[in-house]
């Protein structure tokens, strides 16, 4: 996986990785308001899941809806399902819901169990 370079080359933002850097970076160029939001999300995500937890970024599309795209951040975790769900909920209630309007329906966070 490759770091998302559109977020800068700092140790913190290097936590965001992707399998498709061209698609993610093009999406961030089109929606630059997401860049500071993603950067700010690192602290509360780290508080919830630890600073070593991989954050995988991908562009999601819906083939049934023309030009519908969102940026998905997947928190890859080895935690038990209940614990991971609790932590994602804590992230949502303590930080994400207050910042959600800034995302303009172009960003969401989810879990993957590895």
Domain residue limits at 28 = 2-113
Q: In which band, very low, low, confident or very high, does the pLDDT at 28 lie, cut at 50, 70 and 90?
A: very high
The pTM (predicted TM-score) of the whole model is 0.90
- For the chain, the three-class secondary structure string (H helix, E strand, C coil) is CEECHHHCCCCCHHHEEECCHHHHHHHHHHCCCHHHHHHHHHHHHHHHHCCCCCEEEEEEECCCCCCCEEEEEEEEECCCHHHHHHHHHHHHHHHHHHHHHHHCCCEEEEEEEC
Give the total number of structural domains in the chain.
1
The tens digit of pLDDT for each residue in 41-98 reads 999 999 999 999 999 999 999 889 888 999 999 999 999 999 999 999 999 999 999 9
Look at residue 20 and tell me whether its pLDDT is greater than 80: yes
Average pLDDT for residues 17-40, to the nearest whole number? 93
How confident is the model at residue 10, as a pLDDT?
61
């Amino acid at each position: 996986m490759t770091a998302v370079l559109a977020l800068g080359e700092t140790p913190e933002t290097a936590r965001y990785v992707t399998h498709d850097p061209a698609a993610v970076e093009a999406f961030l160029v089109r929606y630059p308001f997401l860049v500071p939001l993603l950067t700010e999300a690192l602290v509360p995500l780290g508080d919830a899941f630890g600073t070593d937890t991989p954050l995988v970024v991908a562009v999601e599309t819906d083939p049934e809806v023309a030009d519908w795209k969102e940026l998905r951040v997947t928190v890859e975790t080895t935690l038990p399902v209940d614990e991971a769900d609790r932590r994602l909920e804590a992230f949502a209630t303590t930080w994400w819901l207050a910042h959600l309007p800034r995302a303009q329906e172009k960003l969401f966070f989810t879990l993957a169990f590895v």
